[in-house]
A and B are shown apart, each in its own frame.
Chain A
Amino acid sequence: MRIGAGLLLLAVLLPLFIGNNYQLGIAHQALILILLASGYNLLLGFTGLVSFGHIALFAIGAYTSAILVVSYGLPFAVGLLAAALLTGVAGVLIAIPALRIKGHYLTLLTLALGEVIRLAIRGMESLTHGAAGFTGIPRPSVLGFTFRSGTELYYLLLACVVLGVLFIARLERSRFGRAFKAIRDGETAAEVCGVDTAAMKVLAFGLSAVFAGVAGGLYAHTMRFISPEFFSLSLTITLLAMVLIGGRGTVLGPVVGAVLLTVLPEWLRFVKDYYLIVFGLAIWACTMFLPQGLMGLAASVVARVRRPA
């Protein structure tokens, strides 16, 4: 709780210490990825379902909002809401076949579905502009106020992140959160205890997809350009790393992971062309020595400090 409040205070004050649009741009990307990773954590961390198709849902959210706002002239809020709803429905549809399989087969199925969705986006040129990409997406605008400057946009994104993280924190303590974790720890045992595992899995997929949709919509209006190139498998791997390194199954793990994996490659630029090697070694060290992620490390440090001598 205290860590969360501290992080929030830091995030609120951050624009006071940020000197230029480059740093603000990185902060925007980190906030969007926090939302995406937090939603992914509902699946991977809370429910134990490994999906490789999550970036496709992120893409659906981005394209839905862009198409509705640019091509049909609808307000940003409608575009974002539609992005959340449509990706939520897509998430539920993906969950239906996913109920019949698990483990590696589920991973392969979601991987294939993700690629199919990406290729479909590329193929529907009249709607999505295909490989050329979607340009001219406006900055978010709510009730006549346009979030034009980097700082204004930062606080809009921060507000969405705070709402999302608070929702997950509340969900974790609810019977749904406990049901998700019960499925992760032992599906048969959860069923024996009366958990409707099928319904809970569909709910986890759906909620996780809604987060991806909102993050996608915000991404489109932040970057003002989207193309299928961005929504590649490599981003899925980065997303997986964010959740695992931050600490899966924790509320703040994906927050820490997303910030770290967005900011670290930029911090490491002083090592010039070798930064990818250093970045790779840092990721490797995290996975080897922090199997529970950074939040797992934080929890064990706190437990050690509180333990009576």
Chain B
Amino acid sequence: MLMRRSVCLAGLLLAATSLAAHAQSTLTLGMVIGTTGAFAGGEAPLVNGTKMAVADLNAKGGIGGKQITLVIEDTGSEQTGAVNAYNRILAQNPVAIMNTTLSGFVLSQMGTIQDEGIATFTGAASAQLAPDKKGVENLFRVRTSDSLVPTAAAKFALDTLGAKRIAILRANSEYGNGWRSAIEATLAARGLKPAASESFEGADRDVTPQLLRIKAADADVIIVAGDPPNHVVAVQQIKQLGLTAKVILSNGGVLPTTVKLYQPGAADGFYGTVDSVPGRDPAQAEWAARYRKQFNIEPDYSAAEYYDGVMMVAAAISKAGADPKAVVKALRTVAAYKGVGNIYTFANKGDGGQGVALVQIKGGVIDLAGSVQ
């Protein structure tokens, strides 16, 4: 009996020791993302990009000899879910967190992000998240801020498409309101006003009244700003109503996962804003080919930017060690880092990416239409 107990105890001790050893030989990278709910489709490329980066790093021996373990927690595409998911990840002592791309969700986590001090990357574009606004020291944007993208869209409409009457159709959210303000400011600088400015709720599945008012306003370009599900509704109904105005979709509207949801031909000729087009960049051909092979979908800027985020974390840990404060400090020295999806600066309160490009949907795929400085 005593012998049996001793063997059991030794087994337990061995298991505990090997678990502790495993924990010491690995680094945990957290990811807070919507894997269920309305935003799961739009956030799927971020998971792909992160997984690819972790696999690449582990294939090269990890960071400082330690393999990286990716732990993903689901936000459920809800605000409270995003706060809970962030807290769940924190309980697993991550070295850094790849966070959701929903601006409102990130704002709701902001108190905890600041309190805990773990380096947190987000693809959220809201201008409010800038370090000199509501952003915090340990929040890093792997995306181009909305202080730049809507302005680029409006300038493209005016200068390249020759627009005279621009209409805005935007989500009644932090994201959509940011687009409206930036477009109105760009037009005002040229002595213009929007031909129409319409909004919809995030859960709306019918924007026909708004589109009919835009049609009545005789707009020649419509700029649509919202999340991927909103774009699917807007594109379908623009086609159904036979609107002839040119259309520029915000970033979520030209993600490969969103483009796949459009009815065949419905979005042909529509433009969209992106931070970059890694699938069309000869310098990123090898990365893009591996992405296509691994995930069987066209690579997009958001996947590339989360890939870059993980690589920047790895570089920071290699340079300064895995202590959270040291990682944040090292990341805050990053300047003009050329990644796959963008060029990033975090030094001197840098707000992440700077690139903006315009693409056009042709036959269900996106092609570069122009870039705006």
Give the B-binding residues of A (Cβ under 8 A): 19-23, 25-26, 29, 122, 130-133, 135-136, 223-225, 227, 229-230, 265-266, 269, 273, 276
In chain A, what residue has the closest Cβ to B108? A225
Contact (Cβ within 8 A) A225 B177: no
Tell me, in angstroms, the Cα distance from A108 to B192 when the chains sit together. 43
| CB-defined contacts of B112 to chain A, threshold 8 Å | 21
Could you say which of B91, B110, B134, B173 has the most chain A C-beta atoms within 10 Å of its C-beta? B173
Question: 16 A-B contacts, Cβ less than 8 Å apart?
Answer: A20-B87, A20-B90, A21-B91, A22-B90, A23-B91, A122-B172, A132-B174, A132-B177, A223-B108, A224-B110, A225-B107, A227-B79, A227-B107, A229-B79, A266-B84, A273-B36
Tell me, in angstroms, the Cα distance from A269 to B75 when the chains sit together. 11
- Kindly supply a per-residue 1/0 record for chain B positions 78-107, scoring 1 wherever the CB is within 8 Å of any chain A CB and 0 otherwise: 011001100110110000000000001001
Contact (Cβ within 8 A) B128 A132: yes
- Cβ of B35 < 8 Å from any Cβ of A? yes
In chain A, what residue has the closest Cβ to B88? A22
| CB-defined contacts of A265 to chain B, threshold 8 Å | 76
Contact (Cβ within 8 A) A25 B36: no
Contact (Cβ within 8 A) B79 A230: yes
In chain B, what residue has the closest Cβ to A24? B87
**Interface size bucket, B side?**
20 to 34
In chain B, what residue has the closest Cβ to A233? B203
Q: Contacts A21-B91, A132-B177, A135-B110; is A227 near B104 (CB within 8 Å)?
A: yes
Tell me, in angstroms, the Cα distance from A131 to B102 when the chains sit together. 13
Nearest Cβ on chain A to B314's Cβ, whole angstroms: 26
Contact (Cβ within 8 A) B91 A22: yes
- Cβ of B176 < 8 Å from any Cβ of A? yes
Nearest Cβ on chain A to B40's Cβ, whole angstroms: 9
Nearest Cβ on chain B to A224's Cβ, whole angstroms: 4
Main secondary structure, interface of B, reads helix
Q: Which of A21, A29, A130, A133 contacts B80 (CB 8 A)?
A: A29
| CB-defined contacts of A25 to chain B, threshold 8 Å | 83-84, 87
| CB-defined contacts of B88 to chain A, threshold 8 Å | 22
Tell me, in angstroms, the Cα distance from A133 to B102 when the chains sit together. 13
Contact (Cβ within 8 A) A131 B79: no
- Cβ of B111 < 8 Å from any Cβ of A? yes
Tell me, in angstroms, the Cα distance from A21 to B108 when the chains sit together. 16
Tell me, in angstroms, the Cα distance from A130 to B104 when the chains sit together. 12
| CB-defined contacts of A276 to chain B, threshold 8 Å | 36, 76
Nearest Cβ on chain B to A287's Cβ, whole angstroms: 22
| CB-defined contacts of A132 to chain B, threshold 8 Å | 107, 126, 128, 174, 177
Q: Contacts A133-B107, A224-B111; is A230 near B91 (CB within 8 Å)?
A: no
Contact (Cβ within 8 A) A135 B134: yes
Contact (Cβ within 8 A) B91 A133: no
Tell me, in angstroms, the Cα distance from A195 to B128 when the chains sit together. 54
Contact (Cβ within 8 A) B177 A131: yes
Tell me, in angstroms, the Cα distance from A223 to B80 when the chains sit together. 9
Main secondary structure, interface of A, reads helix
Going nearest first, the 4 A-B pairs with the smallest beta carbon separation are A22-B87, A224-B111, A20-B91, A225-B108
Give the A-binding residues of B (Cβ under 8 A): 35-36, 74, 76, 79-80, 83-84, 87-88, 90-91, 104, 107-108, 110-112, 126, 128, 134, 172-174, 176-177, 202
| CB-defined contacts of B172 to chain A, threshold 8 Å | 122, 131
Q: Contacts A19-B91, A20-B90, A230-B79; is A133 near B108 (CB within 8 Å)?
A: yes
| CB-defined contacts of B111 to chain A, threshold 8 Å | 223-225
| CB-defined contacts of A130 to chain B, threshold 8 Å | 177
Contact (Cβ within 8 A) B90 A21: yes
In chain A, what residue has the closest Cβ to B36? A273
Could you say which of A19, A223, A229, A266 has the most chain B C-beta atoms within 10 Å of its C-beta? A229
| CB-defined contacts of A269 to chain B, threshold 8 Å | 74
Nearest Cβ on chain B to A58's Cβ, whole angstroms: 13
Tell me, in angstroms, the Cα distance from A131 to B176 when the chains sit together. 9
Nearest Cβ on chain B to A73's Cβ, whole angstroms: 19
Contact (Cβ within 8 A) A230 B80: yes
In chain A, what residue has the closest Cβ to B86? A22
Q: Which of A21, A131, A133, A230 contacts B87 (CB 8 A)?
A: A21
Contact (Cβ within 8 A) B36 A131: no
Contact (Cβ within 8 A) B110 A22: no
| CB-defined contacts of A229 to chain B, threshold 8 Å | 79, 104, 173, 202
Nearest Cβ on chain B to A97's Cβ, whole angstroms: 25
| CB-defined contacts of A19 to chain B, threshold 8 Å | 91
Contact (Cβ within 8 A) B174 A133: yes
Nearest Cβ on chain A to B325's Cβ, whole angstroms: 18
Nearest Cβ on chain A to B79's Cβ, whole angstroms: 5
A sample of 4 more A-B contacts (CB under 8 A), given A22-B88, A133-B104, A265-B76, is A21-B87, A227-B79, A229-B104, A269-B74
Contact (Cβ within 8 A) A26 B84: yes
| CB-defined contacts of B76 to chain A, threshold 8 Å | 265, 276
| CB-defined contacts of A26 to chain B, threshold 8 Å | 84
Nearest Cβ on chain B to A70's Cβ, whole angstroms: 13
Tell me, in angstroms, the Cα distance from A22 to B84 when the chains sit together. 6
In chain B, what residue has the closest Cβ to A235? B80
| CB-defined contacts of A225 to chain B, threshold 8 Å | 107-108, 110-111
Tell me, in angstroms, the Cα distance from A130 to B110 when the chains sit together. 18
Tell me, in angstroms, the Cα distance from A20 to B134 when the chains sit together. 26
Nearest Cβ on chain B to A183's Cβ, whole angstroms: 34
Contact (Cβ within 8 A) B173 A131: yes
Nearest Cβ on chain B to A232's Cβ, whole angstroms: 8
| CB-defined contacts of B90 to chain A, threshold 8 Å | 20-22
Tell me, in angstroms, the Cα distance from A223 to B87 when the chains sit together. 12
Nearest Cβ on chain B to A203's Cβ, whole angstroms: 32
Tell me, in angstroms, the Cα distance from A122 to B199 when the chains sit together. 12
Could you say which of A19, A23, A227 has the most chain B C-beta atoms within 10 Å of its C-beta? A227
Tell me, in angstroms, the Cα distance from A20 to B104 when the chains sit together. 25
Tell me, in angstroms, the Cα distance from A66 to B174 when the chains sit together. 18
Tell me, in angstroms, the Cα distance from A135 to B134 when the chains sit together. 8
| CB-defined contacts of B35 to chain A, threshold 8 Å | 273
Tell me, in angstroms, the Cα distance from A136 to B126 when the chains sit together. 17
Tell me, in angstroms, the Cα distance from A133 to B74 when the chains sit together. 22
